[in-house]
Amino acid sequence: MITVLLQKKRMYANAVATFVMVLSLLSLAGCSKAPVVLTSAQFIESLDKGSGNFDRVLQICFSEPLRSTYYHKVAIITKEKVKIIGGGILRPLASDPDAKCHLRNVYTYINKDSPMDARQLIKDYVVSGNVSQLLIQVYDHKPKGKELPIAEKRFQNL
């Protein structure tokens, strides 16, 4: 009787272990995203048609069009040492799925940790030819701690 119970417990433990292994393999397969390669970045000032909301746009280009959703962080440092640090989601472009470049409004990087009058600082200092460094980091999802980016590139003198 005891040996039968022990055999049933072992079978149950093996079944649970197999289930956990299969579940973890499926979760790994479902979460994998294509790697991304940052190729270029530039600031565009001629996109705005008078509203003032799109007079500072960052164009981020990849080697291939994005096929999944990613999270990115940017750190912009101007020649006057104005720092703008922010982030957001990058999604595949529904309107142009073959586009390798994404346009991001620089004002969307303003957050609670931004300097006072960040909007005016961006307007005055984040212009082509005045950005000494731009760091872009791309993640599979929004980092919660000290996760490493899947892609990272530093651009200078933009």
Letter string b/e over residues 9-26, b meaning 16 or more CB atoms within 10 A of that residue's CB: eeeeeeeeeeeeeeeeee
- The verdict on 111 and 84 lying in the same domain is yes
- The verdict on 64 and 130 lying in the same domain is yes
**Reported pTM:** 0.75
- The verdict on 85 and 151 lying in the same domain is yes
Nearby residues of 99 by Cβ (< 8 Å), 6 or more positions away: 65, 93
122 three-state secondary structure: helix
What range does the domain containing 87 cover? 38-156
Separation of alpha carbons 130 and 145, rounded Å: 32
Q: What is the pLDDT of residues 124-140, one digit of tens each?
A: 999 889 999 999 999 99
- The verdict on 22 and 42 lying in the same domain is no
- The verdict on 67 and 122 lying in the same domain is yes
Residue 7 has pLDDT above 90, yes or no: no
- Give the residue among 61, 64, 67, 62 at the shortest CA–CA distance from 91: 67
Residue 77 has pLDDT above 50, yes or no: yes
How many domains does the structure of the chain reveal? 2
Q: What's the pLDDT score for residue 54?
A: 79
Read off the CATH number of the domain in which 89 is found. 2.60.40
Residue 21 has pLDDT above 80, yes or no: no
Q: What percent of the chain has pLDDT over 70?
A: 77
- The verdict on 96 and 48 lying in the same domain is yes
User: What distances in angstroms separate CA 104 from CA 68, 72, 158, one per listed residue?
Assistant: 17, 11, 16
Least confident of 38-42, 54-58, 84-88: 54-58
Residue 29 has pLDDT above 90, yes or no: no
- The verdict on 96 and 23 lying in the same domain is no
Separation of alpha carbons 63 and 101, rounded Å: 9
- The verdict on 152 and 91 lying in the same domain is yes
Separation of alpha carbons 142 and 72, rounded Å: 8
- The verdict on 145 and 75 lying in the same domain is yes
Other Cβ atoms within 10 Å of 124 Cβ, number? 13
Q: What is the pLDDT of residues 81-99, one digit of tens each?
A: 999 999 999 999 988 889 9
Separation of alpha carbons 125 and 143, rounded Å: 29
- The verdict on 121 and 149 lying in the same domain is yes
- The verdict on 63 and 116 lying in the same domain is yes
